[in-house]
Amino acid sequence: MSGRVLITGGAGFIGSHVVDRFLERGWDVEIIDDLSTGKRENVPAAARFHQFDVRAPDAVRIVATGGFDAIVHLAAQMDVRRSVADPVLDAGVNIVATLGLLEAVRHSTHAKRTRVVFSSTGGVLYGELATPPNVETTPKEPDSPYAIAKLAAEYYLSYFARIHGLDTVSLRFGNVYGPRQDPHGEAGVVAIFCGRILEGRPLTVFGDGLQTRDYVHVSDVAEATWRAATMPLSLGVRVDERAFNVGTGVGTPVLELANALLAAAAVDTPIEFAPKRPGEPQHSSIIIERARRVLEWAPRVSLADGLAETFRWFAARANSTAASRL
Ligand SMILES: NC(=O)c1ccc[n+]([C@@H]2O[C@H](COP(=O)([O-])OP(=O)(O)OC[C@H]3O[C@@H](n4cnc5c(N)ncnc54)[C@H](O)[C@@H]3O)[C@@H](O)[C@H]2O)c1
């Protein structure tokens, strides 16, 4: 099957891998991205690129008239701390813009039934009060405006499915890592550690390093997204029945991650400890049986292989940047 897909946030880390997956499989790809954190160099020539905000009237027009078989909505304000500092801004991008896209799909002028795939979070949605590993139906008490906004958007997706008959799916990603992640952002400890190793600076671990996260390779996330966007699905009407955890099911301590990355990079960069950061959950991991069963998906990249490949990518990029300065 091939078709037409719109990918918002397609110039970003996860989005660019999702774009690649659709292009490889013969789809027409359009991207909306304002390049606020994404990069133009991530956009392949074969994709049609629109540089503007997902809240712009042009974005709504493209959704309503584009004749898309699927929309993968990845554009977001994804900095948890920024959401705490400015929850109104966060809600504007993460809730209101999503709602605008759903309204545009509802009022679309073409005959296709568009599948809408929304990028939610398995890392912070369930909150500190839940005991990981969390299944989709775990009661949620999100601890940040970012997580609240993602959950609110998921409720809008299930509402639009139930009341207006839209075809919607939410994916709750774990801690995604891999090539093209931005080491300068808040998220992405693997990218940050890769950058530090290449700069010859110590790796900073906050707290005792025993806090766990569910690290999932971006190629596995792209495959889960592809399946969620293209498979025939018959989902229930409740919010959790339209959602899938996408991770590995394994919580890895950050100290173990740091040591595994140093082993993959074959260096002995020192690890330094800093005080635990307030508001960071101690443990986070998700159960992925539902994605295994319904999407017939499983993560394929082991953490050791994924870290080695990611480090090689950052090292190659650092070399080519250095060479271009000569
Ligand atoms: N990286 C992770 O570990 C992780 C985990 C859970 C959920 N997610 C979700 O996955 C999605 C993609 O995350 P990512 O890691 O690729 O981040 P990213 O910052 O690399 O990608 C986001 C993209 O959206 C674009 N964007 C942001 N606001 C926009 C706007 N208003 N209009 C148009 N474009 C806009 C950015 O320029 C960027 O290209 C986000 O929705 C994020 O919340 C990511």
- How far is C-alpha 247 from the chain's CA centre? 11
Apex 174 CA angle, 39 and 306, nearest 5: 70
- Ligand 1 within 6 A of 15 CB? yes
170 & 256 share domain = no
242 & 281 share domain = no
Mean pLDDT of 253-260: 96
165 & 193 share domain = no
CATH number of the domain enclosing 275: 3.90.25.10
Determine the pLDDT at residue 186. 56
Whether residue 183 is contained in a domain is answered as: no
113 & 94 share domain = yes
Determine the pLDDT at residue 210. 95
Q: Determine the distance separating the centroid of ligand 1 and the alpha carbon of 270, expressed in angstroms.
A: 31
Looking at residue 240, the DSSP 8-state letter turns out to be G
Residue 25 has pLDDT above 60, yes or no: yes
201 & 263 share domain = yes
Q: Quick count: other Cβ atoms within 10 Å of Cβ 62?
A: 22
Determine the pLDDT at residue 318. 87
194 & 59 share domain = no
Determine the pLDDT at residue 196. 94
50 & 115 share domain = yes
**Looking at the 3D structure of the chain, how many domains does it have?**
2
Determine the pLDDT at residue 50. 97
93 & 151 share domain = yes
Whether residue 294 is contained in a domain is answered as: no
Determine the pLDDT at residue 326. 63
Q: Say which of 146, 156, 177, 215 is annotated catalytic.
A: 146
Residue 2 has pLDDT above 80, yes or no: yes
Residue 1 has pLDDT above 80, yes or no: no
Whether residue 184 is contained in a domain is answered as: no
pLDDT digits (tens, 9 = 90+) for 258-307: 999 999 999 999 999 999 887 778 899 999 999 999 999 999 999 999 99
Mean pLDDT of 8-34: 98
Whether residue 181 is contained in a domain is answered as: no
Whether residue 320 is contained in a domain is answered as: yes
Q: Give the residue numbers spanning the domain of 273.
A: 189-213+249-287+302-325
235 & 106 share domain = yes
Determine the pLDDT at residue 319. 83
Determine the pLDDT at residue 204. 95
114 & 208 share domain = no
Name, in order, each residue with C-beta under 8 angstroms of 77's C-beta and a sequence gap of 6 or more.
Answer: 83, 89, 90, 93, 94, 146
Whether residue 310 is contained in a domain is answered as: yes
CATH number of the domain enclosing 106: 3.40.50.720
pLDDT digits (tens, 9 = 90+) for 203-235: 999 999 999 999 999 999 999 999 999 999 999
| Catalytic status, residue 215 | no
- Ligand 1 within 6 A of 35 CB? yes
- Burial of 175 by CB count in 10 Å (0-12 exposed, 13-18 middle, 19+ buried)? buried
169, 159 contact by CB (below 8 A): no
Q: Say which range, 79-83, 193-197, 236-240, has the weakest mean pLDDT.
A: 79-83
How far apart CA 36 and CA 114 sit, in angstroms, is: 27
Q: Determine the distance separating the centroid of ligand 1 and the alpha carbon of 97, expressed in angstroms.
A: 13
Mean pLDDT of 138-145: 95
Determine the pLDDT at residue 277. 82
145 & 56 share domain = yes
Whether residue 279 is contained in a domain is answered as: yes
Mean pLDDT of 164-179: 97
- Ligand 1 within 6 A of 76 CB? yes
55 & 91 share domain = yes
Whether residue 69 is contained in a domain is answered as: yes
